[in-house]
Structures are given as C-alpha cells and as structure tokens.
Amino acid sequence: MLVTHLRLGAFSAALAVLAASSSGALAQKKYDTGASDTEIKVGNIMPYSGPASAYGVIGKTQDAYFKKINAEGGINGRKINFISYDDAYSPPKTVEQARKLVESDEVLVVFNPLGTPPNTAIQKYLNSKKVPQLFVATGATKWNDPKEFPWTIGWQPNYQSESQIYAKYILKNNPNAKIGILYQNDDYGKDYLKGFKDGLGAKAASMIVLEESYEVSQPTIDSHIVKLKSSGADVFFNITTPKFAAQAIKKNSEIGWKPLHFLNNVSSSIGSVMKPAGFENGQDIISSNYLKDPTDGQWKSDAGMKAWNEFLDKYYPEANRADLSVMYAYTVAQGLVHVLKACGDDLTRANVMKQAASIKDLELGGLLPGVKVNTSATDFAPISQLQLMRFKGDTWERFGEILSGDVGG
C-alpha cells in the first residue's frame, strides 16, 4: 500500500516537473534572429571617423558598459554581443552598415545609431524589415511617431520640446522681449528654431528681431554676435554646439552685451563650455538638462555619479569624464539593459519593441532627480522631462519644477 502510494506520488511529481519544464520551454523561450540561449546580438552605428567623430565616444562607452554587464553574468544569463560599425556620419554608409548588421551579422536590434540624417536614411529600411531601431541618438522630433514607424523609438528629450520650454518662460517673464537668435545651419539648429517659434506662437514674428545662422565649418562666430548686439535684442537664444557656445559667451562679455541668455542643453557642459568661456562671463545664463553633468561639483557624493565613476574606473579608465557624451552613453545603455531584462525569455523583436514601449517611471543613476523614463504604445519619446537651470558661481542651479513637453513627430 505504502509502496504504491509512494510510487504514485513519485510518478505524479515527475509528471508535474515534466509538464512544468516542457511548458516552460515551449511557452517562454522565444527567439528571433540575433538572440539565443547564450547571447543577444546588438547592432550599433556610430561616427567613429568623419566630421562628427567626437561622438564616437558614445559607442566606446556603450561597449565598455556591456562588457561590465557580461562580466557580471549578462542579461538573464545571456551575454550581449555588441557589434558597432563606423558610418562616418554619411547616410549612404549608414544604410550599408545597417544592412550589414541586419542581413549579415543578424542582430536582434539596431541600438542607438547616431545622428538625424543617418537615422532618417535607415528608418524606412529597418521598419520594413521589422527590426527595432531602438533609442536613436538624436534629438529630432520625428522619432516619436509610433503610428507611421512602429519600429523606431527615440530616447532623449527632443529639441523642439526643449526650445518650447524656453519660449514659454520668455512669454511668462519677458512678454515684451526683443529676441535675437543664433543657430547652426543644419537639422539640429533648425529643429530648435522651429520649436522656439512654435512656442512663441503668433508673437514670434514681432518678438524675434534677428535670426543669424552659421555653418559648422566656420572657425568663429564673433561677427554674428556683434550683429546680434547691434540689433538691439535683449534676449539671446544661443543654439550652438559646444565650441561655438563657448565663443559666444566669451564674445558677449567682450563687447559688453548683456542680454537674457538662453543656452541649449547640447552645450550646457561645465567642463567643455562654461569653464573655457570663463565662469565670470557665464553668470545667469539659463539652460536646461535631464542628465547630471559630471563636471558639476554638486553631484560629487551622489550615488548615481559614484556608480558611474566606479564603472569608468574599471571598464573605461581612459574616458574623458568631462564629456557629457560618456554620461549619455552610460544612461542609454542602461535603458537597453532594462528593456532586454524586461523581455525575459521572449527575445523576439516584437517583444523588444513592446517592452521598450512600456517603461514606467524608470529612474537611472545619470538622470537628474525627478526625471523619469516613460513610454507607452502611443508615446515613443522615452525621456521628455527637463529642468531649467541658471548658472551661478561655478555650477548650475536648478530652479522651478521638472518640466515636460512632449512634441509628437
């Protein structure tokens, strides 16, 4: 009696185990090309050479970060195989590299390719192949368009929402401002300009007294600053990349022009803009950010910043810690790891997109306190919050609440 009972018990237990394991194998583990029990292939395209090669550091940081993840056991036991190619910021080359990643290397996702023109060039292709174009490294507004391009998702706050925040601030605090604008003559500069004008609305025409543009190949922008001063503007919106931003701040003080100065967050780095421009020249400039600036003293004992420093010490010691791109790359790589972890054993491209589009209040160590990553089926703009800040002494003082401005594509 007892024996049969035992046998029955053992048998049923075995059955249960078998059922559990087989259903586990059948129902849970699902793979698309590029994923297996042991690895996840992640493709990436960066300008390691060419005019935008300064951003190549993003790819290098991500590579280092995935090495760290792999050394710590990978994602649910799977190692990340990070394949990153150079496109020299030339769209035809981007297409070639994207096709190589998808058709030859067979990656699961194309992650964080950099630049608006390169991403535009591959968007249609990746969407027709149903390969996720995950967390693109550009602030253009058009990536938040899940209806038209369900396989493309952005990452950082877009340029237009940022400049709308400035516009709202001006309308509220300086309704009679005379605004002078300096912008870089490319997609980035024009996107900012458009957001700013949209933000000012009907008053844009009367408020903006002068728009000046410069080419990225110009050695200096001094003459533009002089012209802006003579236009009589009392508010200056500075849409420039770091080198030019530092020049502008310096020139402003040289010629004694003291407008209310708005600086786009692209150039808000203390290490590469404010310090070279001279702290005394940069007082009271208003900008905004969503990342913690590693060169800003206020984060010295911050937990997220400490973790970042530990990671760099161990895996990427030669990194330039004053470069905000390193922080950017670290944060977006964490975003990818979060999504892949959330996918569990269902590593299909569709599930990657599904998980990428259902991030709820994710906080990352590199983001400002209060800035959270949020996505949904209709919101493909993961980070859309910014905080205004004003330069005081040798640091940015954040003020006001965390602002969000989602602009659809």
Partner 1 sequence: MSAAAEDVVTEAPAVEAVPKRAMTLGLGTSLVVLAALVLAPLFVKNFIIFQMTMLLIYGLAVLALNILTGGSGQFSLGQSAFYAVGAYTSAILMEHFGMNYALTLPIAGIICFGFGFVFGQPALRLSGVYLALATFALAVAMPQLLKLNFFEHWTGGVQGLVVTKPDAPFGLSMSQDMWLYYFTLVIAIGIYIASVNLLKSRSGRAFMAIRDNEIAASAMGVDVALYKTLAFGVSAGITGVAGGLGAIAVQFVAPDSYTITLAISLFLGMVVGGVGWLPGSIVGSAFIIFVPNMAEHISKGLSGAVFGVLLFLVIFLVPHGARQVAIVAQQMLGKLTKR
- For position 151 contacting partner 1 by CB under 8 A, the verdict is no
Closest-CA residue to 277 (of 354, 180, 405, 391):
391
Contact pattern for partner 1 over residues 41 through 80, marking x by CB under 8 A? -------xxxx----x---x--------------------
Is 361 a binder of partner 1 (CB under 8 A)?
Answer: no
Q: Site mask, partner 1, residues 83-102, x = CB under 8 A?
A: -xxx-xxxxx--xx--xx-x
- Which one, 47 or 157, has the nearer CB to partner 1? 47
Amino acid sitting at position 145: D
Q: Which stretch binds partner 1 (CB under 8 A): 24-32, 113-121, 269-277, 328-336?
A: 113-121
By CB under 8 A, tell whether 150 contacts partner 1: no
Strands, E, within 207-299: which ranges? 208-214, 235-239, 260-263, 286-289
4 binds partner 1, rule: CB under 8 A: no
Residue 187, interface with partner 1 (CB under 8 A)?
A: yes
User: Does position 204 bind partner 1 by CB under 8 A?
Assistant: no
**Contact status: 135 vs partner 1 (CB under 8 A):** no
Q: CA-to-CA distance for 389 and 276, rounded, in angstroms?
A: 19
- 231 by Cβ neighbours in 10 Å (0-12 / 13-18 / 19+) ranks as middle
Which span sits near partner 1 by CB under 8 A: 119-127, 147-155, 302-310, 389-397? 119-127
Does 120 participate in binding partner 1 (rule CB under 8 A)? Answer: yes
**Position 186 contacts partner 1 (CB under 8 A):** yes
The residue type of 111 is F
In this structure, the number of other CB atoms found within 10 A of the CB of residue 168 comes to 14
Which residue has tokens 């259903």?
A: 23
DSSP state letter for 78: B
Buried b / exposed e across 362-379, counting CB within 10 Å, b at 16+? bebbbbbeebbbbbeeeb
Name the residue type at position 399.
F
Q: Does 141 bind partner 1 (CB under 8 A)?
A: no
Least CB distance to partner 1 at residue 395 (A): 33
| Rounded-to-integer distance, Cα 299 and Cα 322, Å | 13
Cross-sheet strand order for the sheet of 39-46: 79-86, 39-46, 109-111, 133-134
Which residue of 116, 144, 252, 375 would you call a contact of partner 1, by CB under 8 A?
116
Pick the closer one to partner 1 by CB: 185 or 404. 185
Residues in contact with partner 1 by CB under 8 A are 48-51, 56, 60, 84-86, 88-92, 95-96, 99-100, 102-104, 116-117, 120-121, 123-125, 185-187, 190, 215
